[in-house]
A and B are shown apart, each in its own frame.
Chain A
Amino acid sequence: MKKILFIMFMLISVCGLAQDVKQIQNRAAQKVGQMNSYIAQMYAKSNSLENRRFYRDKALNLFIGRGRNYTIGGINKCVQMQVTSTNSSVVATKPIRDYFERIINLRYDRIEVNSTDIIDMEVSALREVEDNLYECTVYYVQEFRGYRDGRMVYGDRTKKNVQVYVKAERDEEGAWEFIVMLGDTKATATERI
């Protein structure tokens, strides 16, 4: 009897989670959107350096391991940002902390960043990594424009894929709660604009 009850509980749990897949995928895209908002603040030269660092720390909190080392699938690593370009064979891979540090210190008078709306972001299937841990990938496009003396001096368009981890936990009432954390990102610059 206990076994039957356990199986029924598991079935309800799994079915419950399956219904939540769309919701989880939306949460993943929202988390990426949140990161983009913080990145915009890190780029904004109207913010003081202290303020830009504040948003860097908020952005790092969105990442698994907060940008420091973590272990998934038995692999110990930190979150990395890989930047490639269709115009060059150079592939640069940096820890996300270093990447954000570079963003904060970019030397432009003004920076504009335009990204795909959260609702339009492409989210891959949700796949189970281990018990109550899932992953999906969020795709979006970002345009960057840097200005000096009122003139645009650099601009590019990049296609980004962000790995997203979702940890499912039960709250005190037994309902599923989903903790969404960002992981590695691959960015491919297609052209200067």
Chain B
Amino acid sequence: MILVCLDSNCQGISDLDKELYFSSVKQMDEFNRRFNCEEFTPGIDSSAENSKLLNIISLFDGNYFTVMDSGKDTLFRKACDFAQTVVKEQVRLDYSDSLWFAQAQCKGKLNGKSVSFSLYLNVRHRGNGRYKWVISKAEGKIFDLDPADTTSNIMITPNSHNVNFIVLSDITSPLNCKNITRFGQDNLDLDQTSIFNYLVYHGNLTIEYVESLEFKFLQVPGYIFSVKEFVRDTFNSGWLIYNLEKVDNQARLQLMDNKY
């Protein structure tokens, strides 16, 4: 198939822009390849000593290093320790890992009003080498069902059973419905994901677009790091690490449990 530009209006981008283009971490697959040192950031000699460490450090948002960490140690030192752990433990990232997930900050409409909330998604194996993304959790203030009245002594009174619980029709009326959670037992555990599913199912909630997207990785022992896209025309752009937390394994497991 001959594929040439059909018009002089269509040209290639300049050499300088090409350098920016090749430096940029353009997709998450490329982020993984660079993290795994299967591909090196332009300018890093793969045969040089410490090339792997440099390659991993090049995956950080440069602005991350300008902030002092607790006034004692710089975040650059923290990033170096992280990179050393990755190289020493031979940690690899793979799309099919269960130890990473996406957090999509969504803009939507709830009964016509603008709302925002988060959806957590992770990759699930479907068998035969096939995968899919699944919504593992919804999170947001709109799913809280905070009662309108937190002070009054609200309840279904003790003898209601003798009158066929007529009061139940009252507690769901527009006058009282905003206090529905107060008629439940104490410490009622409301599942936000179920509420999300319910609202979407009945057409009350729609998603207009994903306002921001980030990925959290838990593969590196002792760390959780977050990646998001920095769209800018500099050599340090694209999908980069913008947050690094040093945590114990218990915290990593807890985060996993919380999001799945």
Chain B interface residue bracket vs A: 20 to 34
CB of B10 within 8 A of CB of A114, answer yes
Complex interface: stretch among A1-9, A31-39, A96-104, A168-176: A31-39
Q: Count contacts between A and B, CB distance < 8 Å.
A: 89
Q: Is A63 an interface residue (CB 8 A)?
A: no
CB of A127 within 8 A of CB of B131, answer yes
B 18-53 to A, binary, CB cutoff 8 A, 1 in contact else 0: 100110001111100000000000000000000000
Shortest beta-carbon distance, B140 to chain A, in Å?
A: 18
CB of B3 within 8 A of CB of A37, answer yes
Shortest beta-carbon distance, B191 to chain A, in Å?
A: 24
Q: Chain A contacts of B6 at CB under 8 A?
A: 37-38, 40-41
Q: Is B209 an interface residue (CB 8 A)?
A: yes
In the complex with contacts A41-B7, A159-B231, A188-B231, A30-B1 CB distance below 8 A: yes
Q: Chain A contacts of B233 at CB under 8 A?
A: 157, 190-191
Q: Chain B contacts of A43 at CB under 8 A?
A: 9
What's the Cα separation between A82 and B209 when bound, in Å?
9
**Contact residues of A: prevailing secondary structure:** strand
Instruction: Among A33, A38, A44, A137, point to the contact of B27 (Cβ < 8 A).
Output: A137
CB of B5 within 8 A of CB of A37, answer yes
Instruction: Among B4, B13, B30, B208, point to the contact of A116 (Cβ < 8 A).
Output: B13
The 6 closest A-B pairs by CB, nearest first: A40-B10, A122-B26, A139-B26, A114-B11, A124-B29, A91-B209
| Chain A interface (Cβ < 8 Å from any Cβ of B) | 30, 33-34, 36-38, 40-41, 43-44, 73, 82, 86, 89, 91, 93, 111-118, 120, 122, 124-125, 127-130, 137, 139, 141, 143, 157, 159, 161, 188, 190-191
30 inter-chain pairs at a CB distance below 8 angstroms, sorted by A residue, are A33-B3, A36-B10, A37-B10, A40-B5, A40-B10, A41-B6, A73-B132, A86-B232, A91-B208, A93-B208, A112-B9, A114-B11, A114-B12, A115-B12, A115-B13, A116-B12, A116-B21, A120-B21, A124-B29, A125-B29, A125-B95, A127-B131, A128-B128, A128-B129, A128-B130, A141-B13, A161-B27, A188-B231, A190-B231, A190-B233
